[in-house]
Amino acid sequence: MMNVRNIMTKDVVTVAQASGLKEAAMLMASKSVSSLVVMEKNRPIAVVSETDIIKGISSSKPRVKDVMSREFMIISPLTRFSEIISSLREKKIKRFPVVENEKLVGLITETDVIEATRDFTRFHQIVQEVILAIFGLATAFFLFYFSPIGASMFG
């Protein structure tokens, strides 16, 4: 089972809902992130993305609270990876703040899920190749062992 702790971003960049959109945009740019977790009283209450900020600036909405999205799901580090995948597919949720002991400890985004899935697939392929190599060597050994040359050498 894939561990949420292993795939989450641990250094979560946060913003207050009263912050201005330009301030939020500069924070995103300086930290090289595409979304910010909006906090109130040390709890995640929303998420604001690059797209939200662009829409807000173009429609003259000045504050994070005017554009932030409550379309996110708080998860714990014990949440199963399959639950995250299911929420991505069915609920179209793309961001998952990770909270442990009432403290924000991480963030999982759709990109993190895709990268983790790609890494798992790569690992699975390597395991398959190793198994095939072992099977190939065992087959070659038995074919040689039971061949006339092998029988004369080992017999």
pLDDT tens per residue across all 155 residues of the chain: 567 888 899 999 999 999 999 999 999 999 999 999 999 998 999 999 999 999 998 888 889 999 999 888 999 998 888 888 888 888 888 899 999 999 999 999 888 888 887 767 777 788 888 898 899 888 888 888 788 887 777 76
49 shares its domain with 122: no
24 shares its domain with 50: yes
CB atoms within 10 A of CB 103: 9
18 shares its domain with 91: yes
Phi, psi of 68 (to 5 degrees): -65, 150
93 shares its domain with 122: no
Residue 90 and residue 84 in contact, taking contact as beta carbons nearer than 8 Å: no
pLDDT computed for residue 16 by the predictor: 96
Domain range holding 150? Answer: 115-154
The two beta strands, 35-40 and 103-109, are unpaired
Residue 10 and residue 97 in contact, taking contact as beta carbons nearer than 8 Å: no
98 shares its domain with 140: no
Q: What's the pTM value of the predicted model, to 2 decimals? A: 0.72
Q: Distance between CA 34 and CA 94 in Å, rounded?
A: 12
Residue 14 and residue 28 in contact, taking contact as beta carbons nearer than 8 Å: no
14 shares its domain with 53: yes
Residue 97 and residue 44 in contact, taking contact as beta carbons nearer than 8 Å: yes
Number of domains forming the structure of the chain: 2
Residue 48 and residue 67 in contact, taking contact as beta carbons nearer than 8 Å: yes
